[in-house]
Amino acid sequence: MKYLEEYFIKRFLKNLPYDPISILNENKQTDRSLLTGYKNIVTTIQQVSQKSLVRENHQGFYFAFADDKRLNGTATIYKNTDIIVVNYGGITKIHQYFRAACNSSLFPWVTNRQLLCDFLSGLAFDFLISHEFGHHYNGHLLFRKPQKANLISRMDMLGTTTIPYESALERKAIEMDADSYASTNTFLKQLRNPTVLKMGIENGLFRDQYDQLRYWIFATHSFFLLFAAQMVDINSIHYENYYNRTLRQAHNLDISANLIDIFSPHLKTNFNQIMDEIFQLTETTFHNIHNSDSDERIREVLSVTDKRVIEHIKEVDNYYYKVLKPKLIPFARHKLA
Ligand SMILES: [Zn+2]
């Protein structure tokens, strides 16, 4: 029965009428251990998320890798199954990037560089997957589930979507909500997981909890930079859907600072300083590896503190609480922000 169901899901994904997803034939991939490792991370995230449900989960779950080089993740629904598809090429991109970063003098106190690379890659992947889980658990697909069976709800990070959004503001509020879910859950995992902290200290990865938080900031912001950098074909971006990476970064920093305030106020003073320090380090490291156009980057970085950006975040935020949240509540399986 399970195989038959899988067969239909795969057929469904292959037959999406736009930008078809070609599911990776995992048997043909040489790097099996990488695939298995990341599949296990997805299973763990899914199992952990079941513990904090506010509504019974009637949806099944299916995960697959797509045979695509771009860094992207997709959330879609087939009948009563939540589907997440992640591009395999995106995972190797994340790995290559952090390997290059760890070959430099980044976080020089860590002697096991491979361990550092794997840890940072894992954090970035966790963010990507958690964002897609956020779309499912916060009801983003169910609340817009088309009545007609031949219409398919689907959203991905590159902004190609078939969900009939009411406005660009709605699309941005939805993406911001998925980011909130990802930032909150991945940050709390670092902030409130004594086992990871203990193990990290034992094997020389962290000197203390601040290092753990340093890596989270570095990994999530590197992810935003990596993701934004591949949007080379500016013509293919749906501008009304495009969620500026500087907005995403500002939002991510804001959430982590709030969580520190609530859960670990004793870490607050140093954390603010660490946030600035690592944010700069992320930018410099990215620039050194990617040789990206510096003026463009500097403008983007400055825009995080630009008044217009902050105003825009407020506008999206306001739309979320007044318009979107009431619509999502009946469909959300997790507590909404
Ligand atoms: Zn998304």
Distance 328 CA to ligand 1 centre (A): 15
Query: Is the residue at 168 inside a domain?
Result: yes
Nearest to 129 by CA among 208, 74, 203: 74
Query: Is the residue at 193 inside a domain?
Result: yes
Query: Is the residue at 1 inside a domain?
Result: no
The total of other beta-carbon atoms located within 10 Å of residue 5's CB is 14
Distance 155 CA to ligand 1 centre (A): 6
Q: How far is CA 77 from CA 35, 140, 276, in A?
A: 23, 11, 39
The tally of domains found in the chain comes to: 1
Digit-coded pLDDT (tens) for 26-74: 777 667 788 888 999 999 999 888 888 888 888 899 999 988 888 888 8
Distance 154 CA to ligand 1 centre (A): 10
Digit-coded pLDDT (tens) for 191-247: 998 999 999 999 999 999 999 999 999 999 999 988 887 764 555 555 555 667 778
Provide the residue range defining the domain that includes 319. 94-328
Query: Is the residue at 155 inside a domain?
Result: yes
Distance 220 CA to ligand 1 centre (A): 15
Distance 72 CA to ligand 1 centre (A): 9
Instruction: Give the three-state DSSP class for 29.
Output: coil
Lowest-confidence pick of 172-176, 254-258, 311-315: 311-315
Q: How far is CA 302 from CA 258, 259, 287, in A?
A: 22, 24, 15
Query: Is the residue at 29 inside a domain?
Result: no
Query: Is the residue at 333 inside a domain?
Result: no
Query: Is the residue at 291 inside a domain?
Result: yes
Distance 237 CA to ligand 1 centre (A): 14
This model's pTM is above 0.85:
yes
Digit-coded pLDDT (tens) for 310-320: 777 788 889 99
Distance 161 CA to ligand 1 centre (A): 10
